[in-house]
């Protein structure tokens, strides 16, 4: 079973033709992990790009996420079938709960049970969560069993390193996956990151990717530019010194970008 690549291509906020073209470019330059979600409204375009790429299914790692409205017993599995139909795939590699359910009418046990069912039915190879706090991770592990939660996808970038949650993930053997790793472009303008990038003839984005790999964090940056996609993928040539890694560590100021009104009480 294919492991999740260190770097994936995120598709949040990409719609229609732009989504299809961006995923096509990403696959063309060598990305093999594509991350989408029911809520993004672009699963069909992502599926088109995958289908027309001509790439072998076994070489790809595809992630999608179940939205709030589909977490109830009656909707969960049908919504996954609908996602697969749009993606034109028989299974996804990773299926996530997009956000912990904010209401009281659907229990955690119920929708995590449906998530486990999707895996048992062969609709996904791995299951995981997104935007889960330490308390929710503890509960998820007790419901699903040790080793079942493949990843927790959370906001992580140099200015919001989510260290407590990342540490909790590591203790449980759960992969921490960073969304918004470039803090909506803010990393490109940060003086520390720009200085480190100059030392390596690299981009600030590549510095962030190299730092994340050293900190054992997976990432799914988003880009519509073929050049930027190729640059992101080439971050492996950037070897940061311990001093440089520490400089990036020191940029953490808890600056959270994604904080909707239905978010859980963050750690």
Say what the pLDDT of residue 2 is.
Answer: 84
Whole-prediction pTM value? 0.97
| Residue 58 forms part of a structural domain | yes
Split into its structural domains, the chain has a count of 1
| Residue 213 forms part of a structural domain | no
Structural domain range at position 148: 9-181
| Residue 203 forms part of a structural domain | no
Say what the pLDDT of residue 1 is.
Answer: 79
What CATH number should be reported for the domain holding residue 30?
Answer: 3.20.20.100
C-alpha distances (whole Å) from 170 to each of 110, 111, 133, 142, 217 are: 26, 24, 14, 16, 10
Report whether 184 contacts 257 (CB < 8 A). yes
Say what the pLDDT of residue 166 is.
Answer: 98
Tokens of 191: 């003086």
- Residue 91 CB neighbours (<10 A): 17
Spatial distance between the Cα atoms of 208 and 193, rounded to a whole number of angstroms: 8
| Residue 234 forms part of a structural domain | no
Name residue, tokens 């560590």. Answer: 249
| Residue 18 forms part of a structural domain | yes
| Residue 219 forms part of a structural domain | no
Sheet holding 92-97, edge to edge: 9-10, 33-35, 61-66, 92-97, 124-130, 149-155, 175-179, 217-219
Spatial distance between the Cα atoms of 151 and 143, rounded to a whole number of angstroms: 15
| Residue 101 forms part of a structural domain | yes
**Residues designated as active site:** 40
| Residue 52 forms part of a structural domain | yes
Each residue's pLDDT tens digit in the chain (267 positions)? 789 999 999 999 999 999 999 999 999 999 999 999 999 999 999 999 999 999 999 999 999 999 999 999 999 999 999 999 999 999 999 999 999 999 999 999 999 999 999 999 999 999 999 999 999 999 999 999 999 999 999 999 999 999 999 999 999 999 999 999 999 999 999 999 999 999 999 999 999 999 999 999 999 999 999 999 999 999 999 999 999 999 999 999 999 999 999 999 999
């Amino acid at each position: 079973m294919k492991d999740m690549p260190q770097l994936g291509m995120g598709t949040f906020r990409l719609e229609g033709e732009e989504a299809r073209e961006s995923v096509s470019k990403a696959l063309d330059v060598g990305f093999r992990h594509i991350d989408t979600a029911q809520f993004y409204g672009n699963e069909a375009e992502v599926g088109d790009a995958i289908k027309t790429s001509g790439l072998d299914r076994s070489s790809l790692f595809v992630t999608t996420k179940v939205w709030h409205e589909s977490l109830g017993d009656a909707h969960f599995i049908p919504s996954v079938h609908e996602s697969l139909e749009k993606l034109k795939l028989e299974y996804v590699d990773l299926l996530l709960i997009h956000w912990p359910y904010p209401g009281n009418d659907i229990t955690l046990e119920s929708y995590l049970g449906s998530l486990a069912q999707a895996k048992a039915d062969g609709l996904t190879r791995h299951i995981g969560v997104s935007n889960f706090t330490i308390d929710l991770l503890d509960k998820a592990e007790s419901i699903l069993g040790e080793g079942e939660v493949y990843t927790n996808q959370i906001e992580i970038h140099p200015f919001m390193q989510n260290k407590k949650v990342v540490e909790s993930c590591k203790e449980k053997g759960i992969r921490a996956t960073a969304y918004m790793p470039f803090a909506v472009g803010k990393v490109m303008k940060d003086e520390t990151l720009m200085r480190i990038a100059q030392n390596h003839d690299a981009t600030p984005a590549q510095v962030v990717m190299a730092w994340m790999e050293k900190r054992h964090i997976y990432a799914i940056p988003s880009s519509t530019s073929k050049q930027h996609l190729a640059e992101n993928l080439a971050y492996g040539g950037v070897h940061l010194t311990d001093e440089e890694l520490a400089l990036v560590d020191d940029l953490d100021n808890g600056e959270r970008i994604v904080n909707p009104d239905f978010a859980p009480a963050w750690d």
